[in-house]
Amino acid sequence: MNAIAEIDRLPRRPVYRTEYEALGRQHAFDDESVELLDGQIVYAAEEGPPHAAVAARLARLVIESIPAEHGEVRIGNPIALSDLSEPEPDLFVTTPRHSYRAAHPTTATLVIEVSQTSRRRDLGVKATLYAAAGIPDYWVVDLTRDRVVVHRDPSGSRFRSVTSPDHGILRPLHHPDVQVDVIAVLP
């Protein structure tokens, strides 16, 4: 057995969100783009211009469609899902609050990830984490397959409804004034 295979079989200790945030305050990740997923510190995927263009288009659309008293739009910020997970989705909408100085939001009404190199992670572990946290509406804009994957109705660590409409208008469950044209959102 080689050393890597042996290490992979060893028991691991998860990193807790409080520890992860403390490391961040100590500037441990200043030169790195990381997030905490299920107790593991992982590198955030580097995304290119198509990802940036779609994320910016969605951010503008969502911000312009949701009045401040109905939701706060967060772009590329952490969401504290559990003691072991603090992902940084491309965009999420949470309930309006006066200040996030004390802590990151712990829930959202809508989470959107734009995926290219992060596709497997966004459709896999992140979908599991968002479902377990009870996020009612999770969308993945899959740039590698030119589709939007809509996850709804969380139950345990899964979504009971996963669809990928090839055309039409998507409306978030809690923000029906937001209208996303499936074809127009793709590059």
The CATH number of whichever domain residue 85 belongs to comes to: 3.90.1570.10
Tell me if the pTM is above 0.85: yes
Structural domain boundaries enclosing 81: 47-185
Q: How would you classify the pairing of strands 158-163 and 169-170?
A: unpaired
Q: What is the pLDDT of residue 21?
A: 94
Q: What is the pLDDT of residue 174?
A: 92
Domain contains 123: yes
Q: What is the pLDDT of residue 101?
A: 67
Residues in the chain with pLDDT values less than 50? none
Q: What is the pLDDT of residue 164?
A: 94
Domain contains 12: no
Q: How many CB atoms lie within 10 A of CB 150?
A: 20
Q: What is the pLDDT of residue 167?
A: 87
Number of domains in the chain: 1
* Polymer length in residues for the chain: 187
Q: What is the pLDDT of residue 2?
A: 74
Q: What is the pLDDT of residue 100?
A: 64
Domain contains 175: yes
Domain contains 7: no
How far, CA to CA in Å, does 112 sit from each of 1, 3, 92, 132, 179?
A: 41, 39, 6, 16, 14
